[in-house]
Amino acid sequence: MTQAKILSFSPDEASSKNALALAKREKWEHVGAYDDEEGEVVWGEIKGSSGEVYHTRVGIDDFSFRCSCPSRKRPCKHGLALGILRANDASVFRDSPPAWVTNDEVPKPAFADKGEADKNATSSPSNENIVPLQIPAAWQPLLEDETHKAYWPKLVEFVEEQRQNHTVYPPSGQEFAALETVAPDDVKVLILGQDPYHGPKQAHGMAFSVQPGVTVPPSLHNIFLEMGEELAVPMPKTGYLMPWAKQGVLLLNAVLTVRRSEPNSHKSKGWEKFTDAVIKAVSDKEQGVVFVLWGAYAQKKEKLIDTSKHTIVKSAHPSPLSAHVGFFGSEPFTQINNALEKSGRGAIDWKL
């Protein structure tokens, strides 16, 4: 991420000017860096004009900006400044991370006018046409009951409100792309992710996959590294995983929408209940399915799966933070295909 790239996210010229003024180590109380599931993250603590300390977090690889300051401009000058400082001098990011960093607890922006907080806190609306949430026809017999539960209308209202007031990914109408592509009877493998990519033009409704022409994110890059080492196939030139889906690989995120630059911003709003129902519906199938659970979050879903009928492949998450402590060398693709062939369902051609 270069200084020019960071400034391309600036909401206006004044923000750019202020960010450049703050992009100096002496302006910050503490700064540090670490890796998370989406790549490198830098964090900082900076004092405001009244002496209050603001917490700032910037994703270097996924262009995410979060800060607890009260500015309605997003990204704020602090986020831009921290990113510029990282681009210009990575060596200054040496401090040990405090609890708010390690626990991913950047406070919500403290807007003075609470009535405007939700409208302006993160990202402006994309002016897209909002398509009503509708479960794909092939899945409706299995999931229709979910639409009659108390959480569903609240979830629908929440997603619509978020799209009206923020930029939300994936684009409207693509929330159920994974289910649209793989019908229930065709599911051979279910790979579970957490929530969609939160950068521009990345998410399109399938876990780990990105749209054609988009840079491959760090976790998916590590998946490709393992695949290449394990199966002796060349590194894919694209992160678009539709060829896998067309063979029966259901690429399901636990949460199906996210606000731009705010990972996990739509968690605990109802999506998890819906996708739990999807997992249960697949588990109820008589034909053997391989469930791929990478990382502790996904492995919490193991209790939803009938292991007397199905196979679970699990390991550490492929993120840069954990890939070297259990993902690399785990041979997930071989495990998946061995299980599929044993159940007579045919192997997946993973080459892209």
Active site residues: 195
What are the DSSP calls for 82-137, one per residue? HHHHHHH-GGG--PPP-HHHHTT-PPPP--SSGGGHHHHSS-----PPPPPP---G
Phi then psi dihedrals of residue 95, to 5 deg = -70, 150
Coil, helix or strand at residue 277:
helix
Q: Please choose, from the candidates 263, 264, 266, 260, the residue with its C-alpha nearest in 3D space to the C-alpha of residue 74.
A: 260
Helix, strand, coil shares of the chain as percentages rounded to 5?
Answer: 40, 15, 45
SS3 29: coil
Cα 75 to Cα 71: distance, rounded to the nearest angstrom: 9
* Partners of 40 in beta bridges: 35
Q: What are phi and psi of 324, to 5 degrees?
A: -85, 0
- Kindly report the backbone phi and psi dihedral angles of residue 261, in degrees, each rounded to the nearest multiple of 5, phi listed first: 65, 15
Q: What are the backbone angles phi and psi of residue 290, rounded to the nearest 5°?
A: -100, 120
